[in-house]
Chains A and B, each alone.
Chain A
Amino acid sequence: MATDNRPLSPHLQVYRPQLTSVLSILHRITGIALAAGSLLLVWWLIAAATGPTAFDTVQSFIGSVIGRILLLGWSFALFYHLCNGIRHLVWDSGKGFELNTVYASGWLVVVAATVLTVISWIAAYVVLGGAGS
């Protein structure tokens, strides 16, 4: 049976991006990014178990410009996935599906993830400054 000539439903790119669709795909993208980011935690733990030299290598990577940029991305991804994950859990309970509520919770997630990221980095630099390094 030939199936390749059947009409297709419109592809994703014909739709105008909206907050709802952008946040939805961002949840998936941040999830994939966090899976990759878990490698840093694995490396950090194994290096700590291996010895001071291996541990210093991880710490200097994390402290490097590339390391800090990656960590900034991963920390935002973590906070975004956490906040939007809670939004999903609320939806799973059957609540929050009114259109204005969906938009309000969406913006709340964006703002909360951004604020948490900024606060965390300020706190981390305060700790770093206090350690005198």
Chain B
Amino acid sequence: MSIRTPLGRARGLGSAKTGTDHWWAQRVTALALIPLVIWFVVSMIVNTGSDHEAALSFISSPINAVLLTLLIVATFYHGQLGLQVVIEDYIHTKWLEVALILSVKGGAIFLGVASVYAVIAIALGG
């Protein structure tokens, strides 16, 4: 018989009280990245050595623009979750840990937004 309260069970946070959302988000983005990465690799192979015009026509195709945007969002979300855990595991100076995690998260948002902007600019610019 479980001695956990029904509320504790429903919240599903376990004994650590926190981190379940992080764990779930990492798995959900991992699952989303399986088909996206396979599509991306095949697309990049097909585009090997593309000139500028060919790259623009690839990116601006609606389906490619949508999949690229999803890939970028999932990649940077998944990546910053992973890097956060690495920093938490190895950096034991609190201020440095916080500073690095904030830099990673800020950097992921900046790079993600910049990439999505580039895709949209190309998709709508043509």
Instruction: Please report A residues at the B interface, Cβ cutoff 8 Å.
Output: 28, 31-32, 34-35, 38-39, 41-42, 45-46, 48-49, 51-52, 55-56, 59, 63, 75, 78, 82, 85-86, 88-89, 92, 120, 123-125, 127-128, 131, 133
| Interface contact B52-A51, CB-CB below 8 Å | yes
Would A82 and B122 be within 8 Å (CB), given that A35-B83, A38-B111, A48-B56 are in contact? no
Question: Hey, which chain B residues are within 8 Å of A52, CB to CB?
Answer: 51-52
| Interface contact A56-B115, CB-CB below 8 Å | no
Measured CB to CB, the closest approach of chain A to B81, in angstroms, equals 10
Question: Hey, which chain B residues are within 8 Å of A75, CB to CB?
Answer: 41
For chain B residues 77-99, which have a beta carbon within 8 Å of chain A? 79, 82-83, 86
Interface centre among A63, A89, A127 (most CB of B within 10 A): A127
Question: Hey, which chain A residues are within 8 Å of B48, CB to CB?
Answer: 124-125, 127-128, 131
Instruction: Judge whether B100 is part of the interface by a CB distance below 8 angstroms.
Output: no
Question: Hey, which chain A residues are within 8 Å of B82, CB to CB?
Answer: 28, 31-32, 35
Question: Hey, which chain A residues are within 8 Å of B122, CB to CB?
Answer: 45, 48-49
Measured CB to CB, the closest approach of chain B to A12, in angstroms, equals 12
Measured CB to CB, the closest approach of chain A to B10, in angstroms, equals 21
| Interface contact B119-A45, CB-CB below 8 Å | yes
Instruction: Judge whether B16 is part of the interface by a CB distance below 8 angstroms.
Output: no
| Interface contact A89-B27, CB-CB below 8 Å | yes
Interface of A: prevailing SS? helix
Instruction: Please report B residues at the A interface, Cβ cutoff 8 Å.
Output: 27, 30-31, 33-34, 37-38, 41, 44-52, 55-56, 59, 68, 72, 75-76, 79, 82-83, 86, 111, 114-115, 117-119, 121-122, 125
A-B contact count (CB 8 A): 90
A6 and B50 alpha carbons, distance in the complex (Å): 61
Interface centre among B44, B72, B76, B125 (most CB of A within 10 A): B44
Question: Hey, which chain B residues are within 8 Å of A51, CB to CB?
Answer: 52
Closest to A34 in B: B79
A46 and B31 alpha carbons, distance in the complex (Å): 27
| Interface contact B56-A59, CB-CB below 8 Å | no
| Interface contact A82-B34, CB-CB below 8 Å | yes
